[in-house]
Amino acid sequence: MGRPATFVRFAGCNLRCQGCDTDQKAHWQMSLPDVLAKIRGDRVVITGGEPTMQMREFSELISLLHSHGKEIHIESNGTNPIAEEILKKIRYAVISPKRCSDFHLNFWASKENVHLKFVMGTAPWCWTSSLLEPYLPILDRCRVWIMAYGTDQEMMGARDAWDLAMKLGINYSDRLHIRLLKR
């Protein structure tokens, strides 16, 4: 967060989270060389929607960027496990499980370059302290983050999320894109 990067957003998602901050309708088609030509700098974040919905293109893009020496980060809801040979080309994968989905927690928890991000709140797909705590014994707390739900700049749950992170010994993540981009 806060470091310069080119964002590549794949269109579409297999989940429909209430309050999703991504426009799921806007999209256009690009070839892999077209995408490569648009990349600025050495750091690329591949996100969505859900990028693994287009697993072949997602995997090919990662291999292409890796062959060009790019530092690759991805964001995913974790519903589609990524092949080992692709995962190892990724610097950090941020997996944000939604509680009503099949998120393969044991798979992701076993990968050292995977960080798990849980969005806290009252929406049906969000997490609460009591829902999250049973999973903590199988997770490496250094790679677990919580973030407050919120699509407006007030970020009303941010302080509660921070307090909970301190109590559980895990990490807090802010929503910098919301604080800065909607002004």
- Residues found near ligand SF4 in the complex (CB under 6 A): 13, 15-17, 20, 22, 48-50, 77, 98
Q: How far from 138 is each of 59, 71, 74, 133, CA to CA, in Å?
A: 28, 28, 23, 10
Nearer to ligand SF4, 6 or 22 (CB): 22
Nearer to ligand SF4, 20 or 139 (CB): 20
* Minimum gap (Å) between residue 48 Cβ and ligand SF4: 5
CB count in 10 Å sphere of residue 159: 10
* Minimum gap (Å) between residue 17 Cβ and ligand SF4: 3
Nearer to ligand SF4, 17 or 170 (CB): 17
Instruction: Tell me the residue type at 43.
Output: R
* Minimum gap (Å) between residue 77 Cβ and ligand SF4: 4
Number of H helices, E strands in the chain: 7, 7
Nearer to ligand SF4, 17 or 165 (CB): 17
The token duo for 94 is 């941020």
Q: Which residues of 59-79 are buried (b: 16+ CB within 10 A; e: fewer)?
A: bebbeebbeeebbbbbbbbbb
* Minimum gap (Å) between residue 137 Cβ and ligand SF4: 25
